[in-house]
Amino acid sequence: MHCHVLPGIDDGAKNLNESLGVLEGMKALGFEGVIATPHTMGGVWPNTPQSIESSFNQVNTANNKAIHDLRYSSEYLIDDDFVNLMEQGQLIPLKDDLILIELSYFQPPPNLFEVLFELTNKGYQPVLAHPERYRFYFDSTKTFYKLKSVGCLFQLNLMSLVGHYGDDVAAMADKLLKLELYDFSGSDIHGTRHFEIFNKPVTVKNHKGIPELLEKNQFFKL
């Protein structure tokens, strides 16, 4: 429910051939369904429902059932463009009312909780992508609980479990697993270059809950 397989509209697959290669690779890893979530980020990747649907249609036509359940949504950076899309009713849910969001890696938006309030007030529920990667929250466990208290669901990046983003990110993923704060997991695959990472051993200590966490993704099945 989080990958960047659509071609040419963010930092994921560069073209259709790579998109199809990613889908074949994900099938080989055991993925049965994929919700493509290209970035929507003002001034960088200003995607719209139309641009995402157009890119998806290219892939879906050529997919040849490598992945039998292929859908699309977006990973939305909380910025001014996101607020505009929200106000215009232009958000694409993962499923039902779930919206995948992310934060800047440098600092949280000053109006984060106001935006989350507006989002939930419009009937959506935010799913925060990879909370273990936001280093500005590492010394503030209370903030993670505050995010949960306002309705945020948490999505673990599977590549965090093998130290791909750094030992400190793996340690935070381990902590959030121990606290049982995750609701879903995602691959965050951006291209074929990421497949070798899935062959690396898991480094976190609190790995016993991972199978149950993976099972929660069954929610997204059609």
**CB atoms near residue 43 (< 10 Å):** 9
Q: Are 58 and 20 in contact (CB under 8 A)?
A: no
Average pLDDT over residues 64-86: 93
pLDDT at 98: 98
* Fold of the domain spanning 16-220: TIM Barrel (3.20.20)
d(CA 61, CA 55): 10
Please say whether the beta carbons of 181 and 156 come within 8 A. no
How far is C-alpha 22 from the geometric centre of its chain's CA atoms?
A: 16
The percent of residues in the chain predicted with pLDDT above 70, rounded, is: 100
For residues 165 and 145, give the distance between their C-alpha atoms in angstroms, rounded to a whole number. 23
How far, in Å, CA of 103 to CA of 204, rounded? 24
Domains of the chain by residue range: 16-220
Could you give the residue ranges of the DSSP H alpha helices within the chain? 16-29, 49-62, 80-87, 112-121, 141-149, 167-178, 210-216
pLDDT, tens only, 130-178: 999 999 999 999 999 999 999 999 999 999 999 999 999 999 999 999 9
* Per-residue DSSP letter, 184: E
62-71 tens-digit pLDDT? 987 788 899 9
| pLDDT surpassing 90 at residue 222 | no
- 12-62 pLDDT tens trace: 999 999 999 999 999 999 998 999 999 999 999 999 999 999 999 999 999
